[in-house]
Amino acid sequence: MLAILQRFLRTRFLLTEDMAEPAEIQAAVEAGIPFQGTNLWVLIFAILVASVGLNVNSTAVIIGAMLISPLMGPIVGIGFGAATLELGLIRRGFRSLLTATGISLVVSALYFRLTPLIDAGTELLARTQPTTWDVLIALFGGAAGAVGLTRRARSNVIPGVAIATALMPPLCTAGYGLATAHWAYLGGALYLFSINCVFISFSTFLVVQLLPLPKHAFADKQHARRVRLVILGLALLTAAPSVYLAIGIVQEGTFTHNAKQFIDEQFNQQPGTYVVTSRLVASEQRINVLLAGQRLTPAQLRAARTHLPQYHLANAQLVVRQGIAHVDSADAQALRSSVLADVRSRNEQTLVSYEGRLAQLQQLLNHIGSPTTGGGLPPAADLLREVQVEHPAVRQLGLSRLVVPAADSLRADTTVIVALHTRPALPPAEQQRLVAWLQLRAGGRQSVQLLVAPAAAP
């Protein structure tokens, strides 16, 4: 049984079956390392595209920049060289990576220095505070990239890795910090970029170690061992600060969630009392609430404070102010942001509702006008010929539909309008017979209304 399981696992997880030839892999790695000519121009254009995307807060543009960026080449080359003990490859990879980093910083800083849009959007701010999750993304993404690089058939793995590990946006964010003197942005973005570089190289090193690729032989084995230890040590040193940052972010998120739940259950559910604004400062464990409406008594406020430990907020400082007279500038800004967010949310909901109703009407009209609808009236020209067989006085005929949609479904009342020009005029009895015939011709599913007007004399 154990032998069967081992054979199954070996068959399913075998990496050598579709592996490319070692010479082909080596050539692909070396081709992506140098930054000159085409690679250099593509890098510059990718930097500008990413900078524009960060500047206008466009996720799609940033993804496009990551796809065309050639930054993965030297990073993979460093890991590949470390695994195969090719010191020349490692040195070329480091030189190219430093060159690309410098060019990226200069070009992005020049762009952000010249652009009139200087506010930092959410896409840019997201690249200023790396966490442990960025380490995991770079590690697993780099491993996927290394596996894809060593296959005979090229797939979408490498573009996917370029998007997941996001090498270009942190560099452009660092350029923004350099151009605007936001040194915290510069440091955080460069740290995120270094995390991606180190762990993509490290995961490439691990994957290549598993593959039967030829390795450079050193006369001194101690030298080869030192190279590997340096790679491992650099990875550990890079990961350590990110763990600290991740713990801080998790604690902040937990505090915010618990504080919002506390405010909602202890204040928003009080009869006649409304929360105007709430400010949560996780770093200081402070909850600042502004209330309006029915004032809470000191006993009610003390009772609310006694519930703080139930929300894991035993050390939190609760500040409650009651009445609009206590609004300060921070409250006004928070209230303005809340109102704008509410208006934006309502507008989006209204737009979705209108689009849904429009889709319902379009679907209904398509159903009514479909030639497969049982018993439907034919086109006006064909219907005119049929009508003239029994009513030769009809000279012209037009068709239209009046749709009155229901409020809560796709079913709606539809009236078919048949407009006639006759010469001579149709007697009332003949008009009634025509309406009855049209109703029958329509299959009895639609109401038919007849509009008769005498045709002008020739």
Same fold? 260-332, 380-454: yes
When pLDDT is cut at 50, 70 and 90, the band that residue 409 belongs to is: very low
Tens-place pLDDT, residues 83-120: 887 778 888 888 999 999 999 999 999 999 888 877 77
β-pairing, 412-422 with 447-454? Answer: parallel
Nearest C-alpha neighbor of 83 from the set 155, 146, 148: 146
The residue with tokens 């609760």 is 318
pLDDT at 371 over 50: no
Using CA atoms, how far apart are residues 296 and 315, in angstroms rounded to an integer?
23
Alpha carbon of residue 64 to chain centroid: 13
Tens-place pLDDT, residues 335-362: 556 655 666 666 666 766 766 777 666 6
Sheet with 447-454, strands from edge to edge, namely 394-405, 412-422, 447-454
When pLDDT is cut at 50, 70 and 90, the band that residue 452 belongs to is: confident
pLDDT at 373 over 60: no
> pTM, whole model, 2 decimals?
0.58
Mean pLDDT of all residues belonging to the chain: 79
CATH top-level class for 380-454?
A: alpha beta
Nearest C-alpha neighbor of 201 from the set 265, 145, 261, 118: 145
Structural contact between residues 121 and 54, judged by C-beta atoms closer than 8 angstroms: yes
Provide the angle, in degrees to the nearest 10, between the axes of the packed helices 59-68 and 38-56: 170
Alpha carbon of residue 192 to chain centroid: 20
Got the DSSP string for 157-177? HHHHHHHHHT-HHHHHHHHHH
CA-only gyration radius of the chain, Å: 36
Q: What is the CATH number of domain 260-332?
A: 3.30.300
Give residue limits of the domains in the chain: 10-216, 260-332, 335-370, 380-454
Collect all residues with Cβ–Cβ distance below 8 Å to 202 and sequence separation of at least 6: 79, 139, 142, 231, 232, 235
Structural contact between residues 168 and 47, judged by C-beta atoms closer than 8 angstroms: yes
